[in-house]
A and B are shown apart, each in its own frame.
Chain A
Amino acid sequence: MSFDRATLAAFVDGELDDLTARRIEREAESDAALATEIARHRALRAQLTAHYDPVIDEAVPERLRALFATSDKVDASLAGRREAKRVRFAPIHWGAIAASLALGLALGLRPWMPPASVTEANGTIVAAGPLAAALDTQLASNQATNAAVRIGLSFEDKAGRYCRSFESRSLDGIGCRDGGRWHLERTLQGQTGTDYRQASSGELAAAAAAMMTGDPLDVAAEQQARDKGWARR
């Protein structure tokens, strides 16, 4: 093997000029020791990236996103909007949905299960069944304390859609009205424990703050929006 370890490492790291790189490639074809050494280096790289890359696909925790919501009104709105767009397709949804499945909700695929609260339409997750009904009709100002779904804030997002945050036994989130459906923009796994509930309420409120334009709807505005079927103004 006529290359030192440093050169070899530089080769694997893509730091060599084309000419030297090609010489190493050619030599590796007939030099088993060299080929093995290259394979070892590549295997380490592959093992490290296989270990750390999944972090990239994790949803960014709300506490990090929330840092942007409070820092600067104008910038936060941009960041929030962009993030909201991105998060719509983030794996957190599927994670939360999988969790809610385990907790007894169904995607409408199991006829023996209670009516599904979420379903999928055109690649996005939308509310269905009792959740959709609650988002359609329930007013935050007038809901039973033991309601299965509790509505939090109703507000308009930057795209002019009506959005409502909700909490339920197995799923918390924010639904936005678009094309006659409630698209679930944010979802968290719901829970009945009070401590967790408070934490998740805070996260939802922070998420809502990042998405909303103006103030949340007051009692009268909420009722008016409902009576008009949540159509954009």
Chain B
Amino acid sequence: MRFEEELVELLPRLRRFARGLARDASDADDLCQAAIERALKSQDQWQQGTRLDSWMYRITRNLWIDDRRAAGRRGIHTPIDEAATQVAGDGAAEVEAGTLRGDVDGAMARLPDEQREVVMLVLVEGYAYREAADILEVPIGTVTSRLARGRETLMHLLGEAA
């Protein structure tokens, strides 16, 4: 299958992934657009025979991280980030369980970036730990520990009976 055809077929999934990373639907499509432009420009860097989806997810995720870091340097820290620091990890226990019952967007926004991307890749996109580790270019143990923390926080915020 041709590069562009395969890319077009990936778009619905890529939009889902971006929706989980970005703040809202419009930011998510901005992210997709940037990723597609990048991919089309660096088409020759994709090695035929390797998985285009992993490559594309990696591009998307890296662009998102760059953007988040740039925003952080400019001092644009949204209240969400403060909440994330508060809630992340052990701090989660301080927030009442089920505070965000039913509010998946709100709960996801409170996860630190590195947990949010793992949650999206494994729990929503359905990647195996190994594949998620390849996309993120981190060891598999990092994937499982981030996933565990993200999961706990989500279950806590969304309510035990989620």
Q: Given the complex of chains A and B, what is the CA–CA distance between A83 and B7 in angstroms?
A: 11
Given A40-B162, A43-B162, A67-B37, A58:B11 Cβ within 8 A: no
A-B contact count (CB 8 A): 105
A67–B148 contact, CB under 8 A? Answer: no
- The listed residue with most A CB atoms (<10 A of its CB), out of B5, B19, B155, is B5
Q: What chain A residues lie within 8 Å of B13 (beta carbons)?
A: 56
A58–B15 contact, CB under 8 A? Answer: yes
B15–A44 contact, CB under 8 A? Answer: no
| A220 at interface by CB-CB < 8 Å | no
Q: Given the complex of chains A and B, what is the CA–CA distance between A6 and B20 in angstroms?
A: 24
| A78 at interface by CB-CB < 8 Å | yes
Residue in chain B with minimal CB distance to A14: B128
Stretch at the interface among A68-76, A126-134, A198-206: A68-76
- Chain A positions 33-56 with a Cβ under 8 Å from a chain B Cβ: 40-41, 43-45, 47-49, 51-53, 55-56
Minimum CB–CB distance for B142 against chain A, Å: 13
Q: Given the complex of chains A and B, what is the CA–CA distance between A9 and B155 in angstroms?
A: 13
Minimum CB–CB distance for A136 against chain B, Å: 32
A44–B122 contact, CB under 8 A? Answer: no
Q: Given the complex of chains A and B, what is the CA–CA distance between A85 and B128 in angstroms?
A: 31
| A63 at interface by CB-CB < 8 Å | yes
Q: What chain B residues lie within 8 Å of A78 (beta carbons)?
A: 2, 4-5
Given A47-B158, A60-B12, A79:B4 Cβ within 8 A: yes
B154–A44 contact, CB under 8 A? Answer: yes
Minimum CB–CB distance for A162 against chain B, Å: 25
Given A43-B162, A47-B104, A64:B12 Cβ within 8 A: no
Partner of A75, one of B4, B37, B124: B4
| B160 at interface by CB-CB < 8 Å | yes
Which residues of B come within 8 Å of A, CB atoms? 2-5, 7-9, 11-13, 15-16, 19-20, 29, 32-33, 36-37, 40, 104-105, 119-120, 122-124, 128-129, 144, 147-148, 151, 154-155, 158, 160-162
Which residues of A come within 8 Å of B, CB atoms? 5-6, 9-10, 13-15, 40-41, 43-45, 47-49, 51-53, 55-58, 60-61, 63-65, 67-68, 71-72, 75-76, 78-79, 82-83
- Those 6 A-B pairs whose CB atoms lie nearest each other, nearest first: A51-B104, A75-B4, A55-B16, A79-B4, A56-B12, A79-B8
User: 14 other contacts beyond A40-B160, A48-B119, A55-B15, with CB at 8 A cut-off?
Assistant: A6-B148, A10-B129, A40-B162, A44-B155, A49-B123, A49-B124, A52-B124, A56-B12, A58-B15, A60-B11, A64-B33, A67-B40, A78-B5, A82-B9
